Protein backbone atom coordinates (compact mmCIF):
# COMPACT_ATOMS: atom_id res chain seq x y z
CA UNK A 1 0.00 0.00 0.00
CA UNK A 2 1.39 3.35 -1.01
CA UNK A 3 1.40 5.97 1.72
CA UNK A 4 -0.03 9.44 1.20
CA UNK A 5 2.42 12.31 0.69
CA UNK A 6 2.91 14.43 3.78
CA UNK A 7 3.47 18.10 2.96
CA UNK A 8 5.82 19.81 5.40
CA UNK A 9 7.77 23.02 5.54
CA UNK A 10 11.47 22.61 6.24
CA UNK A 11 10.77 23.86 9.77
CA UNK A 12 8.07 21.23 10.29
CA UNK A 13 10.31 18.49 8.86
CA UNK A 14 13.10 19.50 11.25
CA UNK A 15 10.70 19.53 14.23
CA UNK A 16 9.48 16.01 13.44
CA UNK A 17 13.08 14.78 13.09
CA UNK A 18 13.89 16.37 16.45
CA UNK A 19 10.87 14.68 18.07
CA UNK A 20 11.88 11.31 16.56
CA UNK A 21 15.43 11.71 17.84
CA UNK A 22 14.12 12.57 21.33
CA UNK A 23 11.85 9.51 21.36
CA UNK A 24 14.56 7.11 20.17
CA UNK A 25 17.50 8.44 22.17
CA UNK A 26 15.90 9.75 25.37
CA UNK A 27 12.35 8.55 26.01
CA UNK A 28 12.74 4.97 24.78
CA UNK A 29 15.83 4.26 26.96
CA UNK A 30 14.17 5.93 29.97
CA UNK A 31 11.09 3.78 29.43
CA UNK A 32 13.17 0.59 29.21
CA UNK A 33 14.74 1.55 32.54
CA UNK A 34 11.27 2.13 34.06
CA UNK A 35 10.09 -1.29 32.88
CA UNK A 36 13.16 -2.99 34.41
CA UNK A 37 12.65 -1.18 37.72
CA UNK A 38 8.95 -2.08 37.79
CA UNK A 39 9.73 -5.74 37.03
CA UNK A 40 12.13 -5.84 39.95
CA UNK A 41 9.27 -5.01 42.31
CA UNK A 42 7.83 -8.49 41.98
CA UNK A 43 4.35 -9.70 41.03
CA UNK A 44 3.57 -8.21 37.60
CA UNK A 45 -0.14 -9.06 37.69
CA UNK A 46 -0.88 -6.29 40.21
CA UNK A 47 2.00 -3.95 39.45
CA UNK A 48 0.62 -0.55 38.44
CA UNK A 49 4.10 0.84 37.71
CA UNK A 50 4.77 -1.99 35.29
CA UNK A 51 1.41 -1.51 33.54
CA UNK A 52 2.00 2.23 33.23
CA UNK A 53 5.50 1.70 31.84
CA UNK A 54 4.24 -0.85 29.30
CA UNK A 55 1.47 1.54 28.20
CA UNK A 56 4.03 4.31 27.81
CA UNK A 57 6.22 1.94 25.79
CA UNK A 58 3.33 1.26 23.40
CA UNK A 59 2.69 5.00 22.98
CA UNK A 60 6.38 5.70 22.33
CA UNK A 61 6.70 2.89 19.79
CA UNK A 62 3.49 3.91 17.99
CA UNK A 63 4.65 7.53 17.75
CA UNK A 64 8.09 6.46 16.48
CA UNK A 65 6.45 4.36 13.77
CA UNK A 66 4.08 7.20 12.87
CA UNK A 67 6.92 9.73 12.62
CA UNK A 68 9.07 7.38 10.53
CA UNK A 69 6.23 6.91 8.01
CA UNK A 70 5.53 10.65 7.91
CA UNK A 71 9.19 11.54 7.37
CA UNK A 72 9.62 8.79 4.77
CA UNK A 73 6.68 10.21 2.80
CA UNK A 74 7.46 13.86 3.42
CA UNK A 75 7.52 16.32 0.60
CA UNK A 76 9.25 19.51 1.62
CA UNK A 77 7.33 22.62 0.66
CA UNK A 78 9.77 24.98 -1.00
CA UNK A 79 9.37 28.73 -0.81
CA UNK A 80 7.19 29.39 -3.82
CA UNK A 81 6.54 32.41 -5.94
CA UNK A 82 4.01 34.95 -4.84
CA UNK A 83 2.05 35.26 -8.09
CA UNK A 84 -0.53 32.70 -7.05
CA UNK A 85 -1.39 31.09 -3.72
CA UNK A 86 0.19 27.70 -3.11
CA UNK A 87 1.18 25.49 -0.19
CA UNK A 88 3.97 27.27 1.68
CA UNK A 89 2.69 30.80 1.07
CA UNK A 90 1.36 33.20 3.66
CA UNK A 91 -1.83 34.87 2.48
CA UNK A 92 -3.43 38.06 3.74
CA UNK A 93 -7.19 38.13 3.30
CA UNK A 94 -10.09 40.50 3.94
CA UNK A 95 -13.62 39.29 4.58
CA UNK A 96 -16.01 40.81 2.03
CA UNK A 97 -18.90 41.04 4.53
CA UNK A 98 -16.65 42.74 7.11
CA UNK A 99 -13.93 44.78 5.35
CA UNK A 100 -12.31 45.74 8.67
CA UNK A 101 -11.70 42.05 9.48
CA UNK A 102 -8.39 40.92 8.01
CA UNK A 103 -6.38 37.77 8.68
CA UNK A 104 -3.11 36.24 7.59
CA UNK A 105 -2.71 32.50 7.19
CA UNK A 106 0.23 30.35 6.24
CA UNK A 107 -0.87 27.38 4.15
CA UNK A 108 0.92 24.23 5.30
CA UNK A 109 0.42 20.47 5.08
CA UNK A 110 -2.18 18.89 7.36
CA UNK A 111 0.44 17.50 9.77
CA UNK A 112 1.75 20.98 10.50
CA UNK A 113 -1.56 22.81 10.74
CA UNK A 114 -2.07 24.91 13.85
CA UNK A 115 -4.93 27.38 13.39
CA UNK A 116 -4.11 29.14 16.66
CA UNK A 117 -0.70 30.01 15.18
CA UNK A 118 -2.14 31.07 11.84
CA UNK A 119 -1.09 27.85 10.06
CA UNK A 120 -3.93 26.25 8.13
CA UNK A 121 -4.01 22.91 6.36
CA UNK A 122 -3.97 22.83 2.58
CA UNK A 123 -7.01 20.55 2.98
CA UNK A 124 -9.07 23.12 4.93
CA UNK A 125 -12.02 24.83 3.21
CA UNK A 126 -10.37 28.26 3.25
CA UNK A 127 -7.06 26.98 1.83
CA UNK A 128 -8.84 24.99 -0.88
CA UNK A 129 -10.64 28.18 -1.93
CA UNK A 130 -7.38 30.19 -1.96
CA UNK A 131 -5.08 27.78 -3.79
CA UNK A 132 -4.02 28.93 -7.29
CA UNK A 133 -5.70 32.34 -6.86
CA UNK A 134 -4.09 35.79 -7.20
CA UNK A 135 -4.02 39.07 -5.28
CA UNK A 136 -7.32 40.88 -5.79
CA UNK A 137 -9.29 37.69 -6.40
CA UNK A 138 -12.50 37.30 -4.41
CA UNK A 139 -13.20 33.66 -3.59
CA UNK A 140 -16.11 31.84 -2.01
CA UNK A 141 -15.28 29.60 0.93
CA UNK A 142 -17.54 26.59 1.43
CA UNK A 143 -17.33 25.90 5.16
CA UNK A 144 -19.41 23.69 7.46
CA UNK A 145 -20.97 26.90 8.84
CA UNK A 146 -22.04 28.15 5.41
CA UNK A 147 -20.42 30.09 2.61
CA UNK A 148 -18.63 33.42 2.76
CA UNK A 149 -16.41 35.48 0.51
CA UNK A 150 -12.86 36.67 1.06
CA UNK A 151 -10.54 38.84 -0.95
CA UNK A 152 -6.83 38.10 -1.30
CA UNK A 153 -4.92 41.26 -0.39
CA UNK A 154 -1.34 39.94 -0.33
CA UNK A 155 0.63 36.77 -1.03
CA UNK A 156 3.94 36.30 0.77
Going by DSSP bridges, is the β-strand pair 146-155/98-108 parallel, antiparallel, or unpaired? unpaired
Res 1 pLDDT > 50: no
Q: Alpha-carbon distance 95 to 61, whole Å?
A: 44
Report how far residue 42's alpha carbon sits from residue 33's, in angstroms, rounded to the nearest whole number. Answer: 15
Q: What's the rounded mean pLDDT across residues 46-54?
A: 89
Q: Quick one: pLDDT at residue 141?
A: 96
Q: CA 9, CA 115: separation in Å to the nearest integer?
A: 16
pTM of the model: 0.77
Report the alpha-carbon distance of residue 101 to residue 155 in Å, rounded: 17
pLDDT at 147 over 90: yes
Name the strand (E) or helix (H) holding 8: strand 6-8
Residue 138 has pLDDT above 50, yes or no: yes
Confidence of residue 47 (pLDDT cuts 50, 70, 90): confident
Q: Is the pLDDT of residue 43 over 80?
A: no
Domains with residue ranges and CATH for the chain: 6-76 (1.10.287.180), 90-155 (3.10.50.30)
What pLDDT sits at residue 2? 63
The percentage of residues in the chain with a pLDDT greater than 70, rounded to a whole number, is: 97
| Residue 55 burial (C-beta neighbours within 10 Å; 0-12, 13-18, 19+) | exposed
pLDDT of residue 78: 80
- Helix (H) or strand (E) segment spanning residue 93: strand 90-95
Amino acid sequence: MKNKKVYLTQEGFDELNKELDELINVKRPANVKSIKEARSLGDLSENADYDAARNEQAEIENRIKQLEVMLENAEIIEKTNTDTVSVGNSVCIRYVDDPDDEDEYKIVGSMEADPFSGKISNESPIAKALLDKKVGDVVTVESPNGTYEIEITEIK
